[in-house]
Amino acid sequence: MAKGTAAEDTAAENTAAEDTAPRTAGPDEADLRERLGRLSLDEKVGLLTGAGFWTLHPIEKIGLASLVLSDGPNGIRGTSWDGHDPSLLFPNPTALAATWDPGLAEATGWLNGAQARDKGVHVQLAPTVNLHRTPFGGRHFENYSEDPLLASRIAAGFVRGVQSAGVAATVKHFVGNDSETDRMSYDARIDDRTLDELYLRPFEEAARAEPAGAGAWAVMAAYNQVNGATMTENRPLLTGLLKERWGFDGVVVSDWTAVRSTEAAALGGTDLEMPGLPWSPWRDKLVAAVRDGRVPEELIDDKVLRVLRLAARVGALDGVPGPPPVTTPDDARERLRALASTGTVLLRNNGTLPLRAARGVALIGPNAVRFSPQGGGSAHVDPAHVVTPYEGLRRALGEDAEITVHSGVYPHARLAPLPLALMTDPETGEPGARADFLDAAGGVLLTDHRRAARILSFTDDIPEGTRQVVIRTTVTPAASGLHTFAAAGIGEFELRVGPDIAQVRTLSADGGTMVESLMRPPEHRAEIDLPAGRAVPVELRHTLAEEPFAIAFGLGYQEPHLPEDEELAAAVEAARTAETAVVIVGTHDDVESEGFDRTSLALPGRQDELVAAVAAANPRTVVVVNAGAPVLMPWRDDVAAVLWAWLPGQEGGDAIADVITGAAEPGGRLPTTFPVTETGVLSPVPGPDGTLEYSEGTAIGYRHYAPEDVAYPFGHGLGYTTWEYESMTAAGGTAEVTVRNTGNRRGREIVQCYASGPALPVRLAGFAAAEAGPGETITVPIELDPRLDGPFRLHAGRSIADLVLDVEIG
Ligand code: BGC
């Protein structure tokens, strides 16, 4: 293979399966049983409920270490949210699926596993493999695709990768958690065929033992119900299907607090109740249920064996050789950067991209100023840094290029967190803030340096007796004018800014779930005139009502800024006089998050108006969309180029610049259909009786939309070269497609096969990534979906809407 640019080379190398070490051999079952035999009933049941939010109880007498679990799927957060141990922040999982490359998914899984090993984590709570049933879904960004075959292959690759590093992958959320509204209770009504063909498939391929599946060592049972049974109690699905039919020998862990019963959950098939809060319905209640004969002890034994098997696999059992050592490689940043550009999708291009030798760029848009590297919720990790699009473009274009920056509009409902660059810890003088945990008498129980003016702590991290938590910092404004500070959280707050502001407020949740109030809490804002460069003390004191299960609050900030109309006009003026306008629009984690669904697919605020006005002022307007899930793009045909950058992780700014300048190929293709409007888009909202009817059956995504409702079809994505599809043959479950790179630069193509027939609406049948230099012809083998039963017509092309070759099968 000829060599391309550095970024392309790294992407190509990433596609090779990373780890040459042998996979952990199956544990010695007799040894596990012998250890089990030494445990009392109390010890056994004790192991099945979390010791803390992210840990299990160790049992010294059988050589069992405390197992440590961590979210995923954006990286490995570890066991706390305090930012002390930064994590690699990956591009969001839909961006990974947009590479259409199971080998790259495996390499990405391995890199997650390597981080987990460095952080002492045995179990990663990823991948998230629910389907894109509706783009309104709040966790759409965490999921791979609307298509079960693409989702399955990416999921299986990711699981293999994580586990090749000696870390358990946890396939979640089993099953039917395809949206967030009322997720704790809704009953997804899904017929058997739809479950089998669509929603179960990624779980099956990720969790079945190898070689039929990727052999995941854990599966997470979801919060919701499916067909009348809550998933942690759903015996037909957890026991009948997952454990018995699929032969899954790993651990079924509950989603956090999803176990709401003692017997029903134990009998249903949940093995591990997390996170083991003081009021857990297991522990002594489960011991009593066993003693009373309501839960057979053999069932407890099976659950414990599963936990021990997992422990053996991840090297947490004394005397069982652990997996070979693995550590985060030195080039992790380059890998994340290449992954982000490989997943980036060029939706439209009139030839303006790649930008050659740009000298003057008006960088515009709210996401240029407040970039979104990740979505919100439990997937959140704290990276050591985030490369912004400005930094990326500056590096790529050089110091001589003129780059102006304008937000253009202010679409955010909440203020951004107070930036690290403005904060000084009053105790140490380091950049950052101080967090003090105080008892009822004001005594300091814990004082801690933080790199963010935000606290998110769960039971394990909150010192006993905490009654107040105070965030203190010294802010040195970068500009003179009216600064806005905000207290964000729920409960009692006192906000102090310098000598002039001391405001006490009670903020209450505006409906919504607990998670929603953690993710997007109410705010109280205060404005103050401050000169640049003069340091002021800022303090936010939170008084707790009772012994809390979680503490979540923080300081928001907005620097002096023009009124929105003036800001928009200034942005348009900058565009008019620049050679090229690059407009970065998108969403934010108060729009795309766990805990709630989106209520609109439109870009928040006046972003559409901004794009239209900039495009009218400069014909060389390149729009970069920084979002995890589809948004409506009414201006899409009026701009020079549209680049879909996803939520591209910590190296996102460099990856965007790589693609804009052509240092890297925009390698991605859409793993999900982008609709024109919201009309006809499936709703995530359950009915008043709490049921969420999947009455569309298998007709989701491209199987659902009428052609005129599609803005960009499934599989779509342009590159910087052109391809001709020359021929296709198919035999024995494999198609061979010959394509020629007809352009003048090296490129990456995703060759896609689809099947159709009189009783078979067109669907994805197989795909493979191909790379070729200019003029080169290559033949790409494509493994077809073994579930397809002939006769059918097989098509090949560049997207579901651009099929150029076909052959008759069977
Ligand atoms: C999420 C899971 C996550 C768990 C632990 C839950 O709210 O649904 O995906 O793994 O929390 O953070």
For residue 11, pLDDT over 70 is answered with: no
Q: Looking at the structure, do residues 444 and 393 belong to the same domain, yes or no?
A: no
Which tokens go with 332? Answer: 């992790």
Say which CATH number the domain at 687 has: 3.40.50.1700
Residue ending a domain, among 667, 700, 733, is 700
Summarize pLDDT for 36-66 with one digit per residue, the tens: 999 999 999 999 999 999 999 999 999 999 9
Q: Could you tell me if the CB of 71 is within 6 A of ligand 1?
A: yes
| Residue 231 pLDDT level (bands cut at 50, 70, 90) | very high
Nearest CA to ligand 1 atom 4: 256
For residue 175, pLDDT over 80 is answered with: yes
Residue ending a domain, among 313, 347, 368, is 313
Summarize pLDDT for 588-640 with one digit per residue, the tens: 999 999 999 999 999 999 999 999 999 999 999 999 999 999 999 999 999 99
Q: Could you tell me if the CB of 255 is within 6 A of ligand 1?
A: yes
Mean pLDDT for the chain?
94
Residue 238 CA to ligand 1 centre (angstroms)? 18
Q: What's the N-to-C CA distance of the chain in angstroms?
A: 35
The parent domain of residue 277 ranges over 65-313
The burial of 742, by beta-carbon neighbours within 10 Å (0-12 exposed, 13-18 middle, 19 or more buried), is given as middle
Residue 710 CA to ligand 1 centre (angstroms)? 32
Nearest CA to ligand 1 atom 8: 255
For residues 784 and 649, give the distance between their C-alpha atoms in angstroms, rounded to a whole number. 32
Domain assignment present for residue 45? The answer is: no
Domain assignment present for residue 529? The answer is: yes
Q: Looking at the structure, do residues 337 and 398 belong to the same domain, yes or no?
A: yes
pLDDT at 9: 40
pLDDT at 461: 86
Q: Looking at the structure, do residues 126 and 248 belong to the same domain, yes or no?
A: yes
Domain assignment present for residue 785? The answer is: yes
Helix (H, G, I), strand (E, B) or coil at 339: helix
- Global confidence as pTM: 0.95
Q: Could you tell me if the CB of 256 is within 6 A of ligand 1?
A: yes
- State the pairing for strand pair 69-71/123-125: parallel
pLDDT at 545: 80
Residue 555 is inside which H or E element, if any? strand 550-558
Query: Active-site residues: which are they?
Result: 255
For residue 575, pLDDT over 70 is answered with: yes
pLDDT at 549: 80
Q: Could you tell me if the CB of 172 is within 6 A of ligand 1?
A: yes
Sign of the C-alpha dihedral computed for residues 19, 21, 22 and 23 taken in this order: negative
What domain count does the chain have? 4
Q: Which atom of ligand 1 is nearest to the CA of 183?
A: 8
For residue 80, pLDDT over 80 is answered with: yes
Q: Could you tell me if the CB of 378 is within 6 A of ligand 1?
A: yes
Q: Looking at the structure, do residues 69 and 98 belong to the same domain, yes or no?
A: yes
Pocket test of ligand 1: the residue of 53, 125, 141, 174 to mutate, having most ligand atoms within 8 Å of its CB, is 125
Q: Which atom of ligand 1 is nearest to the CA of 125?
A: 10
Q: Could you tell me if the CB of 204 is within 6 A of ligand 1?
A: no
pLDDT at 512: 66
Domain assignment present for residue 398? The answer is: yes
Mean pLDDT of 693-708: 97
Residue 594 CA to ligand 1 centre (angstroms)? 9
Summarize pLDDT for 340-351 with one digit per residue, the tens: 999 999 999 999
For residue 15, pLDDT over 60 is answered with: no
Residue ending a domain, among 519, 538, 558, is 558
Pocket test of ligand 1: the residue of 71, 219, 223 to mutate, having most ligand atoms within 8 Å of its CB, is 71
Residue 349 is inside which H or E element, if any? strand 345-349
Say which CATH number the domain at 128 has: 3.20.20.300
Q: Looking at the structure, do residues 167 and 286 belong to the same domain, yes or no?
A: yes
| Residue 82 pLDDT level (bands cut at 50, 70, 90) | confident
Q: Among 228, 241, 290, which residue's Cα sits nearest to residue 269? A: 241
For residue 471, pLDDT over 70 is answered with: yes
Q: Could you tell me if the CB of 539 is within 6 A of ligand 1?
A: no
Nearest CA to ligand 1 atom 9: 378
pLDDT at 25: 54
Q: Could you tell me if the CB of 456 is within 6 A of ligand 1?
A: no
Residue 732 CA to ligand 1 centre (angstroms)? 42
Say which CATH number the domain at 741 has: 2.60.40.10
Summarize pLDDT for 477-525 with one digit per residue, the tens: 999 999 999 999 999 999 999 999 999 999 988 766 777 777 888 999 9
Summarize pLDDT for 242-251 with one digit per residue, the tens: 999 999 999 9
Q: Which atom of ligand 1 is nearest to the CA of 223?
A: 8
Residue 298 is inside which H or E element, if any? helix 297-313
Pocket test of ligand 1: the residue of 461, 594, 597 to mutate, having most ligand atoms within 8 Å of its CB, is 594
Which tokens go with 722? Answer: 């052109």
Sign of the C-alpha dihedral computed for residues 101, 106, 107 and 108 taken in this order: positive
- Share above pLDDT 90 across residues of the chain, in percent, rounded to a whole number: 91
| Residue 13 pLDDT level (bands cut at 50, 70, 90) | very low
Domain assignment present for residue 13? The answer is: no
Residue 518 is inside which H or E element, if any? helix 514-519
Torsion from C-alpha of 520, 524, 530, 534, nearest 10 degrees: -60
> Who wins on pLDDT, 87 or 461?
87
325: number of Cβ within 10 Å = 10
Q: Looking at the structure, do residues 298 and 336 belong to the same domain, yes or no?
A: no
pLDDT at 518: 79
Q: Looking at the structure, do residues 600 and 746 belong to the same domain, yes or no?
A: no
Helix (H, G, I), strand (E, B) or coil at 240: helix
Residue 72 CA to ligand 1 centre (angstroms)? 9
Pocket test of ligand 1: the residue of 378, 456, 459, 597 to mutate, having most ligand atoms within 8 Å of its CB, is 378
Q: Looking at the structure, do residues 683 and 615 belong to the same domain, yes or no?
A: yes
Q: Could you tell me if the CB of 124 is within 6 A of ligand 1?
A: no
Domain assignment present for residue 527? The answer is: yes
For residue 738, pLDDT over 60 is answered with: yes
pLDDT at 810: 84
pLDDT at 546: 78
Q: Could you tell me if the CB of 130 is within 6 A of ligand 1?
A: no
Q: Looking at the structure, do residues 476 and 506 belong to the same domain, yes or no?
A: yes
Domain assignment present for residue 716? The answer is: no
Domain assignment present for residue 769? The answer is: yes
Which residues are registered as beta bridge partners of 555?
487
Q: Looking at the structure, do residues 532 and 625 belong to the same domain, yes or no?
A: no
Residue 65 CA to ligand 1 centre (angstroms)? 23
Say which CATH number the domain at 484 has: 2.60.120.380
Q: Looking at the structure, do residues 298 and 153 belong to the same domain, yes or no?
A: yes
For residue 403, pLDDT over 90 is answered with: yes
Q: Which atom of ligand 1 is nearest to the CA of 515?
A: 7
Q: Looking at the structure, do residues 528 and 599 belong to the same domain, yes or no?
A: no
| Residue 21 pLDDT level (bands cut at 50, 70, 90) | very low
